A and B are shown apart, each in its own frame.
Chain A
Amino acid sequence: MGKYFEPAELVKFSGLFVIAKTVVNGFFAGLHPGAKKGASSDFAEHREYAPGDELKRLDWKVLGKTDRYYIKEYREESTLNCNILLDCSASMDYASGQISKFKYAVYLAAVLSYLLSKQHDKAGLTAFNTKTMEALPPKAGKAHLTLLLDSLEKLKPVGATGVAGVLKETISRVKGKGIYILISDLYGEQAEIIKQARLLAAGKNEVIIFQVLDHEEINFSFKEPQTFEGLEDIETIPALPDMIQEEYKKILREFTDGYKNAFHGFGIDYVLLSTKTPLEEALVHYLARRARVGK
């Protein structure tokens, strides 16, 4: 097993459920309720017997009590295809504390993969900067999980960001329906990113977006005058952080609120995460919300 999976963590997350928002066709498998009803251990409802129904599905107890013919129907368990899209651009390498945005994103991806694997869902991984760096198609099973985690471990943040391009590419590759989890700082052309994310969600896919930002990126609490240099470009700008802090926070809030408002109503779940937010807490918060949406 990889270093990301402490047994304690496994126990903690096993009590929660990732609940898909849209109903996928197929049968129930694991804990996800499917849209189709069929032969399964999860009772759904009673239906009057019709000629051609299998006799073994007849509810004999009801027949005995009421002298009526009812068929017992069960939910079919489905298998979920989950693609984790991980931003590996240089801007993700920023760390004001011990943990960089990238590391945080990798942890999140690993936890999600494990969770999916435990639920017998299929987990895939697409690591990208401007183009796809690593792509693992969604598969179930421990062996695939191990492969996935190994891949995660080997990834290094480098190059510019191309979230919109990767989303576009993903849309072109989509087969069937599934969950797409994007973990990124979402820098880049905001309008284009929003457009592509909406397109992805429009194909009845469930899209979940985690925007990971460093604590300092959000609060901008530098004290001394600084010359800021971009991680993805070579431009610099001198600034008095205490003077521009409020303005910067306002601009950043507008940026994140832009995403939040744009995704709201398009079936896209958007969660802003700071690198100081405990990973568990972020996941607990998210999964709980997911469960509420599913009911």
Chain B
Amino acid sequence: MNFSFFNPAFLYTLPLVFIPVLIHLFSVKKSRVQKFPEIKFIKLAVKQTLIKIRLRQLLLLLLRILMIIIIILVFSRPVIHLIKNNPGGSEKPQTLCLLLDNSYSLGAVFKNSSSFERGKEACLKLLASLKESDSVSFALMSNRVKPLTKGFTSDLAATAEQIKNANLSFNTTSVAAGLNYGYSELKQSPGSKKQIIVVTDLALHGFNNEFKLFKDYDRNVNLIFVDVSEKASNLALAGLTASSPASEEPVKISFTVENYSDTKYLKTPVSLVMNKVKAAYGFIDSYPGKKSVKNLYFSPEKKETETGYVRLEAGDALAADNIAYVTARAPEKSRVLLVDGDLKIAQFQNETFFLKLALNPEERFFGEVIATVCVPGELGGKNLFDFKAVFLCNVESFTPLIAAKLKEYLGEGGNLVYFLGDRINAKDYSKLEPELFPAFISGSEEGLFRMDPANTSVNHPVFRQTFAVELAKAGFYRHYNLAPKKNSFAVSSFTNGAPFMLENKGIKGKQGKVVIFPFPADREWSDFPMRPAYLPFVQELAKYLTENTGKEDTASIFVGETFKRTFSPAETPVKLELTVPNGAPVVYIPKNNVFEFAGTVTPGIYTLQYSNKKGERKTESFAVNLDVLSGESDFKKQDQEGIKRALPESTSFFLIKDYKNIASEVLVLLRGKELTRPLIILLLLLFTFEGILSLRRFL
């Protein structure tokens, strides 16, 4: 806090303060002689009131000195500067970086005007109060900063036009991004009085990230936050997912409704529109600060992709987050290859019989996994990339060609499962590369063994869903002794301590999983296939191995994220057409089998159309949604203390809560506040006090 003066020349009259001192020192009042009968009482009274008299005289002296000082100050017109680093008085030109928050939460409506409109109004008012000598840079701020002026300009009229034409985005707030931009802009400016003015709704989550890491941080830059938010309640749709347990069943659209308000909303209508037809509707109750989960179902039309949206009919402040888009694909079956090393004439004697049954119980259940059986000799001719996992059941050994093929498959995200039976060549297996077979086989043991639940990683996805206790009931009469290599570990063990299930670890890049069981998949060495635990165990194993196999989950992304579609070499189109919501198709050419699109600025359904090399016309869709769970829909505000904590220490910042008076408040901060009026009031008070003290017997 420092001072400057409009008329500093008056300060030269400050020595006048000595006038009352001189008067007090040299004025001797001539007093009349008064005869009095008895002066001993007067003497006594004088003696007893002497201290009071002296005090009063001293007080009067101080008052009079103070009054002269104030009179001089009134004439010199002092100006107080609340912000630091504001040298050179109040007349020097200002360099302002004006940032207007255009994240979607600014769309919150209060009394027919949105926070964004109020922000624009505030910016215009501020601009109108600036001088021609001031220069300003204007940018829209969200997690992406969009500059609307080229550097700093003194053309305030053109800047005002830019502000009027500014639009709300669907992005989330990031004050850090805005400040980073502001600091780097101001670094290039030669001015001495630099300020960043952030017009925002102070959304709490906007202050979350990377505040201490400003690249061009300058402690001489003052930050002024202007709060344009009003108290409002909001409901938001979030976490929209489409799932289908099986192809024959209706698709389940599940979502949550977040209530970011102080009031409860009961029986709020919610509707699901799929392929432009209202497919389902329902009602949802939501309570303050809580989330409510809701499911809606629809029967798919067997299209490649079904697209639609869920809309919440709530009369809350922010409409943008009451709609969420979804795409639903027909469930894709996972294909696995079962290599049977001990094929028999009787089907049920096959090595893979139980495995295949458990993976796809055909007529009895709907399976999500399609299993193909082959013999080891057919491996060379199979395109392994068509399968998400290869189960090698009791395969004697691998030729170097097959081993290389398996290694390539593994390297590209394929998964391998070994079931070791009596036909395998243990020595050959142990010699395999650790990536391909991450274990040594050191003979086998006979007896009665069971899986040890106490020695099992129950957090492993395979065991998490399976009852380890049920598994432990299975009896094993024989098993190989496995010793894990450096890149593997025992997920589960037998009661005798030997590994029951081994898995590779430290997987790099796209490399797939390798799982080894030291026993065959049939009944030869155990009664495991006859146990109730066998089916869920195999199902979970297949699920574990076939999920997330390198293909991007592009069904739904957030606004601002880059959409990425990787094609297999066989499918890569020469060109493709992308249709954005409410837009016309635009042609793009994929590079290196990958199509990337960063312009996801609007929430909605984006449609991709292309012809693959076989000439088939393909249509894919993806949904772009608001990032509601980032906290943007939550109108909780950051307070003064929170801002202080978020900013680097020694940053000078101010918070203007009354956006209506932004012009006057910012002007006070920029140009200082003239103290003449309060000084005159103080002077009048002192005059009154001095009058009372000198006229009346005050003490």
Which A205-246 residues have a C-beta within 8 angstroms of B? Answer: 214, 217, 222, 224-233, 235-240, 242-246
Complex CA–CA separation, A9 to B31 (angstroms): 43
B 46-57 binary contact with A (CB < 8 Å = 1; else 0): 101100110010
Say yes or no for A247: interface residue by CB 8 A criterion.
yes
| B36 CB contacts on chain A under 8 angstroms | 94, 217, 228-231
Closest A residue by C-beta to B38: A187
Say yes or no for A91: interface residue by CB 8 A criterion.
yes
Say yes or no for A255: interface residue by CB 8 A criterion.
yes
Say yes or no for B39: interface residue by CB 8 A criterion.
yes
Q: Select one of B34, B35, B46 contacting A244, CB under 8 A.
A: B46
Which A249-269 residues have a C-beta within 8 angstroms of B? Answer: 250-252, 255
Pick from B31, B42, B44 the residue with the most CB of A within 10 Å.
B42
CB distance from A54 to the nearest CB of B (A): 60
| B33 CB contacts on chain A under 8 angstroms | 226-227, 229, 236
Closest A residue by C-beta to B41: A251
| A250 CB contacts on chain B under 8 angstroms | 45
Decide: A217 near B37, CB < 8 A? Known: A237-B42, A237-B46. Answer: yes
Contact B37 A244 (CB under 8 A): no
Contact B38 A246 (CB under 8 A): no
Interface of A is mostly: mixed
Contact B37 A247 (CB under 8 A): no
| A222 CB contacts on chain B under 8 angstroms | 34
Which B270-289 residues have a C-beta within 8 angstroms of A? Answer: none
Pick from B29, B36, B43, B52 the residue with the most CB of A within 10 Å.
B36
CB distance from A32 to the nearest CB of B (A): 36
Decide: A231 near B37, CB < 8 A? Known: A224-B32, A238-B31, A243-B697. Answer: yes
Closest B residue by C-beta to A248: B45
Contact B38 A248 (CB under 8 A): no
Contact B53 A228 (CB under 8 A): no
Closest B residue by C-beta to A93: B37
| A235 CB contacts on chain B under 8 angstroms | 39
Q: Select one of B32, B43, B44, B48 contacting A226, CB under 8 A.
A: B32
CB distance from B55 to the nearest CB of A (A): 11
Contact A243 B53 (CB under 8 A): yes
| A238 CB contacts on chain B under 8 angstroms | 31
CB distance from B637 to the nearest CB of A (A): 60
Contact A230 B34 (CB under 8 A): no
Contact B39 A230 (CB under 8 A): yes
Complex CA–CA separation, A251 to B45 (angstroms): 7
Say yes or no for A185: interface residue by CB 8 A criterion.
yes
Contact A229 B35 (CB under 8 A): yes
Complex CA–CA separation, A58 to B49 (angstroms): 76
Complex CA–CA separation, A214 to B36 (angstroms): 10
Contact B697 A224 (CB under 8 A): no
Q: Select one of B43, B52, B53, B56 contacting A237, CB under 8 A.
A: B43
Complex CA–CA separation, A237 to B35 (angstroms): 11
| B52 CB contacts on chain A under 8 angstroms | 243
| A246 CB contacts on chain B under 8 angstroms | 697
| A139 CB contacts on chain B under 8 angstroms | none
Say yes or no for A101: interface residue by CB 8 A criterion.
yes
Contact B37 A187 (CB under 8 A): yes
Which B680-699 residues have a C-beta within 8 angstroms of A? Answer: 697, 699
Complex CA–CA separation, A231 to B39 (angstroms): 9
| A91 CB contacts on chain B under 8 angstroms | 37-38
Contact A248 B697 (CB under 8 A): no
Contact A226 B34 (CB under 8 A): yes
Closest B residue by C-beta to A226: B34
Q: Select one of A92, A227, A240, A255 contacting B32, CB under 8 A.
A: A227
Contact B39 A227 (CB under 8 A): no
Decide: A243 near B49, CB < 8 A? Known: A230-B39, A248-B41. Answer: yes
| B49 CB contacts on chain A under 8 angstroms | 243-244, 247
Closest B residue by C-beta to A225: B31
Contact B44 A251 (CB under 8 A): yes
CB distance from B40 to the nearest CB of A (A): 8
Q: Select one of A101, A225, A229, A255 contacting B39, CB under 8 A.
A: A229
Closest A residue by C-beta to B29: A225
Contact B38 A244 (CB under 8 A): no
Contact B697 A239 (CB under 8 A): no
| A214 CB contacts on chain B under 8 angstroms | 37
CB distance from A90 to the nearest CB of B (A): 8
| B56 CB contacts on chain A under 8 angstroms | 243
Contact A239 B32 (CB under 8 A): no
Complex CA–CA separation, A248 to B39 (angstroms): 10
Which B227-284 residues have a C-beta within 8 angstroms of A? Answer: none
Contact B45 A247 (CB under 8 A): yes
Contact B38 A245 (CB under 8 A): no
CB distance from A105 to the nearest CB of B (A): 13
Complex CA–CA separation, A238 to B53 (angstroms): 13
Closest B residue by C-beta to A89: B37
Complex CA–CA separation, A109 to B46 (angstroms): 35
Complex CA–CA separation, A101 to B36 (angstroms): 12
CB distance from B422 to the nearest CB of A (A): 123
B 5-41 binary contact with A (CB < 8 Å = 1; else 0): 0000000000000000000000001011111111101
Q: Select one of B29, B34, B699 contacting A228, CB under 8 A.
A: B34
Complex CA–CA separation, A222 to B35 (angstroms): 12
Complex CA–CA separation, A231 to B56 (angstroms): 31
| A233 CB contacts on chain B under 8 angstroms | 39
Contact A185 B31 (CB under 8 A): no
CB distance from A242 to the nearest CB of B (A): 5
Complex CA–CA separation, A232 to B38 (angstroms): 8
Pick from B37, B43, B45, B699 the residue with the most CB of A within 10 Å.
B37
Decide: A231 near B35, CB < 8 A? Known: A237-B43, A237-B46, A247-B49. Answer: yes
Which A172-215 residues have a C-beta within 8 angstroms of B? Answer: 185, 187, 214
| A228 CB contacts on chain B under 8 angstroms | 34-36, 39, 42
Complex CA–CA separation, A237 to B46 (angstroms): 9
| A243 CB contacts on chain B under 8 angstroms | 49, 52-53, 56, 697, 699
A residues apposed to B, CB below 8 Å: 91-92, 94, 101, 185, 187, 214, 217, 222, 224-233, 235-240, 242-248, 250-252, 255
Can you list 10 pairs linking A and B with CB atoms under 8 Å apart? A94-B35, A94-B36, A227-B32, A229-B35, A231-B37, A239-B45, A243-B697, A244-B49, A248-B41, A250-B45
Q: What 8 additional pairs, Cβ within 8 angstroms, besides A214-B37, A244-B42?
A: A225-B29, A225-B32, A228-B35, A230-B37, A232-B38, A243-B56, A247-B48, A251-B41
- CB-based closest 4 A-B pairs: A247-B45, A91-B37, A248-B45, A225-B31
